[in-house]
Structure 1
Amino acid sequence: MTTYPLTDIVPATVSDVPLILDFIKQLAVYEKLAHEVVATPELLEQHLFGASPKAEVILAYHQKTADSERLPVGFALFFHNFSTFLGRPGLYLEDLFVDPAYRGMGLGKKLLQQLAVIAKERDCGRYEWVVLDWNKPSREFYESLGAKPQGEWIIHRVEGKSLDDLASM
Structure 2
Amino acid sequence: MDIIIRKATEKDSHKIWVLMKELAVFEKYIDSFAITPEVVKNSGFRKSPPDFHCIVAEDNDKIVGILVYYFLPYTAQNKPAIYMKELYVDENYRGRKIGERLMNALWDEALVHNCEQIKWTVAPWNKAGQKFYERLGANQNNEWLNYEWNL
Normalising by structure 2, what TM-score?
0.93
Does residue 47 of the first structure (1) align with residue 43 of the second (2)? Answer: yes
Counterpart check, 1:71 vs 2:62: yes
Matched with 2:55 is 58
Structure 1 segment 21-32 matched on structure 2, within 5 A:
21-32=17-28
* 1:117 counterpart residue number: 108
Question: Which amino acid counterpart does residue 145 of structure 1 have in structure 2?
Answer: L
Tell me if the contact between 2:16 and 2:63 (Cα under 8 Å) persists in the aligned partners. Answer: no
Bigger shift: 77-86 or 123-132?
Answer: 77-86
Between 69-78 and 31-40, the greater mean CA deviation after superposition: 69-78
Give the SS at the match of 2:76. Answer: coil
Aligned to 1:101: 92
- Count matched residues: 150
TM-score by length of 1: 0.84
RMSD between superposed Cα atoms in Å: 1.3
Q: 2:65 is paired with a residue of what secondary structure?
A: strand
Percentage of identical aligned residues: 32
Structure number with greater Rg is 1
Quote the residue 1:14 is aligned against: 10
Matched, 1:129 2:125: no
Gaps of 5+ in 2: none
Q: Which consecutive unaligned segments of at least 5 residues does structure 1 have?
A: 63-68, 163-169
